[in-house]
């Protein structure tokens, strides 16, 4: 199933819209620009998914790097859990 919101954020990041439900029929285009067609969104979806995956990969790497750096400074995992809980977040995907 195409994630329309996720795709629009990638395809038209500055656009304004609302989406009732998960289907194209629920998409209301608020911007002055032309409303993308269902096909355009479907075509852009795989690219958007790759972009989200790349962003997530970068996020996980940044977390891992930050955690390794903090440990090298002498912080313990218990200290990190209290002081920087984001560094203990589990990867989501």
Partner 1 sequence: MAVTPVGNPYVESSDLVANYPGASEALAERIDIVGVNPFANAGARSTAIPSPTEGMMSSLNDTDEVQRYDGATWKLVGGKVLQVVSAANTSTFGMASATFTDITSLTVTTAALASTGSRVKITVSLGKVSIANLGGASAAFRLMRDAIPIALGDAAGSRVLASFATVPNIRSNDNYGGGGYSFTFVDSPSTTSAVVYKLQMATEGGTQGYINRTVNDTNASPLYLARTASTITVEEIA
Are 4 and 15 in contact, with CB atoms under 8 Å apart?
no
69 phi, psi to nearest 5 deg? -65, -45
For 74-84, letters b (16+ CB in 10 Å) and e give ebeeeebeeee
Interaction pattern, residues 15-34, with partner 1; x per rule: CB under 8 A: xxxxxxxx-------x----
6 binds partner 1 (CB under 8 A): yes
Number of residues forming the site for partner 1 (CB under 8 A): 25
35 binds partner 1 (CB under 8 A): no
Binding stretches for partner 1 (CB under 8 A): 3-6, 8-9, 14-22, 30, 52, 56, 59, 62-63, 86, 89, 92-93
């Amino acid at each position: 199933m195409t994630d329309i919101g996720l795709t629009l954020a990638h395809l038209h990041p500055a656009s304004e819209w609302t989406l009732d439900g998960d289907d194209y029929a629920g998409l209301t285009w608020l911007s002055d620009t032309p409303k993308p067609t269902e096909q355009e969104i479907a075509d852009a979806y795989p690219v958007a998914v790759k972009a989200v995956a790349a962003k997530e990969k970068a996020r996980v790497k940044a977390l891992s790097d930050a955690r390794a750096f903090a440990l090298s400074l002498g912080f313990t995992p218990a200290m990190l859990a209290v002081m920087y809980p984001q560094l203990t977040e589990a990867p989501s995907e």
